[in-house]
Structure 1
C-alpha cells in the first residue's frame, strides 16, 4: 500500500495575498468576495489576508511576483476575468498571464493560484463568479489552503525522512 501524504492544517499565522484585476470588476469583485469568505471560514484571520488591485489581468503577474519575493506569504491567489472579444487579444493575455504565474510559483516555491477566468462570454463569467457553476475565487482559496497544508506536510515528511 502506498504512503499517502495528507495536507497538514495551514498554520494559524499563514498570510495569503490576493491579486485581483479591476477590469471586469463586476465579476472580479465576486471572485474576491468568494476567496476572502472561504479563507476566513477556514481559519485565516481577516488581517492575514492582503489584497492588491491591479488594472487588468496582464498586470497580475508582476504584482504576484513582488508579493512572492517578500517571503511573507504562504500563497498568492490571482483573480481576474478575461472575456473573449472579436479579436485574439484574449488568447495572448491568457497565455502570457498563465505562463508567468507558473514561473512565479516554481521560482519562489510558492502556491500561485490561477483564478483568472478565461471565458467566451460575459454569461460564462457570471456563472463562474458565484452563479450556477460556483465561484472560482472560492475554489482557488480552497486550493491555496490545501497546497499550503500539503507543502507543510511535505516539509515535515522530508525532515523526518532525513533524520
Structure 2
C-alpha cells in the first residue's frame, strides 16, 4: 500500500495561502463520533493555524455522513461562506450499505458545490475498518481533517483569485 508509512497530512512542500479573509463552514457527522471529533479538531486547528478567525468558522453537526449533503446545502443557503468542509466516517460493514452511502455522499457534495459555485470539501473517511479510520484521524497517516481544511483554504483562495 502506497500510504502504509506516509503521513498524508504533511503540507511542508506546499504553499498555503492565509485563511484570514475567508469564512468557513464545517459540517460534522455524529456517527463514529470518536473519529469525526478528531477530524473536526484537526480541521478547526488547521484553519486557525493558517489565519482563519474563530468567529468566521461556523460549526454544525448532522446525524451521519449521509446528511452531510443536506448540512452543506443549508449552510450555503443561509450563511455567506467561502467554503464548507464536510467531515464524516463510513466504515465497511457486511452489507452494501457502505457503497450506497459513500456514493451518495460523494455525489451529493459535488452537486452542492456546483449548485452554489462554492468549494464543498469531501473530508469523509471511507475505510475498511476502525483502525484505518483511527490512523487517518490523527494517527500514523495524519488527520484527514487537516487535509480538508488546507483544501478549503486553497479552494477559497482560488475562487477569490478567479473573481478578481
TM-score bucket (shorter structure): 0.7 to 0.9
The question of whether the paired residues in 2 share the 8 Å contact of 1:74 and 1:110 is answered with yes
In 2, the alpha carbon distance for the partners of 1:154 and 1:69 equals 22
Indicate which of 72, 80, 83 corresponds to 1:64. 72
Q: Which structure's CA Rg is the greater one?
A: 1
What does 1:58-137 correspond to in 2, within 5 Å? 58-70=66-78, 72-137=80-145
Bigger mean CA deviation after superposition, 12-21 or 118-127: 12-21
Residue 48, structure 1, aligned to residue 56, structure 2: yes
**2:47 aligned residue:** 39
The question of whether the paired residues in 1 share the 8 Å contact of 2:19 and 2:153 is answered with no
After TM superposition, which residue ranges in structure 1, 4 or more long, deviate above 2 angstroms?
7-13
**2:147 aligned residue:** 139
Q: Which runs of 5+ in 2 are unaligned?
A: 1-14
In 1, the alpha carbon distance for the partners of 2:75 and 2:16 equals 24
Residue 53 of structure 1 and its aligned partner are, at CA, apart by 0.7
TM-score by length of 2: 0.87
The question of whether the paired residues in 2 share the 8 Å contact of 1:10 and 1:152 is answered with no
CA RMSD of aligned residues (A): 1.5
In 2, the alpha carbon distance for the partners of 1:10 and 1:110 equals 18
Q: Which runs of 5+ in 1 are unaligned?
A: 1-6, 157-163
In 1, the alpha carbon distance for the partners of 2:61 and 2:105 equals 16
**What is the number of residues matched between the two proteins?**
150
TM-score by length of 1: 0.88
SS in 2 for 1:67: helix
The question of whether the paired residues in 1 share the 8 Å contact of 2:22 and 2:81 is answered with yes
Residue 15 of structure 1 and its aligned partner are, at CA, apart by 1.2
**1:29 aligned residue:** 37
Relative to total residues, which structure has the larger helix share, 1 or 2? Answer: 1
